[in-house]
């Protein structure tokens, strides 16, 4: 018959070394005299060891913290944004005013949802059909291979008389991506055109009559480049990513650090 003064909870506390000296001595004495208690203590000790050994952590890389420059950029987004627009116009190969207008509006639309909608939920694909009608021929890809969920869709006035479809995606580690589709600007080429300033990155391209701009603030550059290339390809073909692309996007995501923005 076990010593009923010794409870299962006390035995747990005993094997964890959390009892005070007097209680430890009392339990130790009871365990020495009672085989049932001794078996319980052995089982609990074995359980502790098995639990401690049960986790095999995969290799986890410690992400590099954002540089001081990056942090300043994030905080002073307005200043960075202005510089970004000014610098990007040269790459865009448009006249200065038109280029500035396009990029300014694109980032405004991106920030319009990405800053506020922290609780946005994934949207059903059918919702996009309604929005896509506003920009005929627009192709909005499924980016779940890169663990990005579509959480926002809107159609809004864009450059000139255009209207643009904006699709907002959110990842599980703070990444926010905007894909903008609009009737193309002549100056946009079919190749990816990068626009970068600090942690703000964007790529633009033309696919048939439509222009696309994909934007990120803070995503790992390598991952974002692969994502942009993949989206460009799928926007031209209007087919979902193939198996190899999905795998590459997934691996790229797993290897990259969380987003800094």
Partner 1 sequence: MTEHTRIEAYLPRLYGYALSLAGDHHQAEDLVQECALRALTAKNTPGDEPAYRAWLFRILRNAFLDRVRRERTAALSADEVNFAPDMEFWQGDERFITVLAVKLQMEKLPRRHREIVALIDIAGLSYAEAAVLLEVPVGTVMSRISRARRMLLEAIGSSNVRELPVRKKKGIG
Which chain residues interact with partner 1 by CB under 8 A? 2, 7-9, 12-13, 16, 18, 36-37, 39-40, 42-44, 46-48, 50-55, 57-58, 60-63, 65-66, 71, 118-119, 121, 172-174, 254, 257-258
Residue 125, number of CB atoms within 10 A of its CB: 11
Closest C-alpha among 252, 253, 238 to residue 140: 238
* Pick 44 or 156: Cβ nearer partner 1: 44
Nearest to 26 by CA among 7, 50, 48: 7
List of residues 6+ apart from 141 with CB closer than 8 A: 179, 230, 231, 234, 235, 240, 241
Instruction: Identify which of residues 38 and 191 has a Cβ nearer to partner 1 in the complex.
Output: 38
Q: Which is nearer to partner 1, 60 or 161 (CB)?
A: 60
In the complex, least distance from residue 192 CB atom to partner 1, rounded to whole angstroms = 28
Q: How far is the C-alpha of 192 from the C-alpha of 143, rounded, in Å?
A: 18
Question: Closest distance between partner 1 and the C-beta of residue 85, in Å?
Answer: 27
Instruction: Pick the closer one to partner 1 by CB: 1 or 136.
Output: 1
Shortest Å distance, C-beta 145 to partner 1: 13
Q: How far is the CB of 160 from partner 1 (least distance, A)?
A: 37
Which secondary structure element, helix H or strand E, spans residue 191, and what is its range? none
């Amino acid at each position: 018959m076990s010593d009923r003064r010794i409870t299962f909870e006390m035995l747990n506390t005993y094997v964890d070394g959390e009892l005070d000296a007097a209680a430890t001595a009392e339990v130790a004495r009871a365990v020495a005299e009672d085989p049932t208690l001794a078996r319980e203590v052995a089982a609990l000790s074995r359980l502790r060891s098995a639990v401690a050994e049960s986790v095999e952590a995969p290799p986890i890389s410690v992400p590099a913290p954002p540089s001081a420059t990056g942090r300043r950029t994030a905080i002073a987004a307005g200043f960075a944004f202005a510089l970004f627009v000014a610098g990007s116009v040269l790459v865009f190969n448009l006249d200065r005013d038109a280029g500035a207008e396009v990029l300014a509006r694109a980032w405004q639309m991106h920030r319009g949802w990405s800053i506020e909608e922290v609780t946005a939920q994934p949207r059903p694909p059918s919702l996009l059909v309604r929005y896509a009608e506003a920009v005929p021929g627009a192709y909005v890809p499924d980016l779940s291979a890169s663990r990005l969920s579509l959480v926002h869709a809107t159609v809004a006035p864009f450059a000139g008389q255009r209207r643009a479809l904006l699709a907002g995606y959110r990842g599980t580690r703070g990444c926010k991506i905007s894909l903008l589709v609009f009737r193309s600007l002549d100056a946009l080429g079919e190749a990816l055109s990068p626009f970068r300033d600090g942690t703000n990155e964007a790529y633009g391209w033309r696919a048939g009559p439509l222009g696309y701009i994909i934007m990120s603030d803070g995503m790992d550059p390598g991952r974002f480049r692969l994502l942009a290339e993949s989206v460009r390809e799928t926007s031209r073909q209007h087919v979902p990513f193939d198996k190899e692309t999905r795998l590459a996007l997934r691996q790229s995501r797993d290897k990259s650090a969380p987003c800094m923005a």
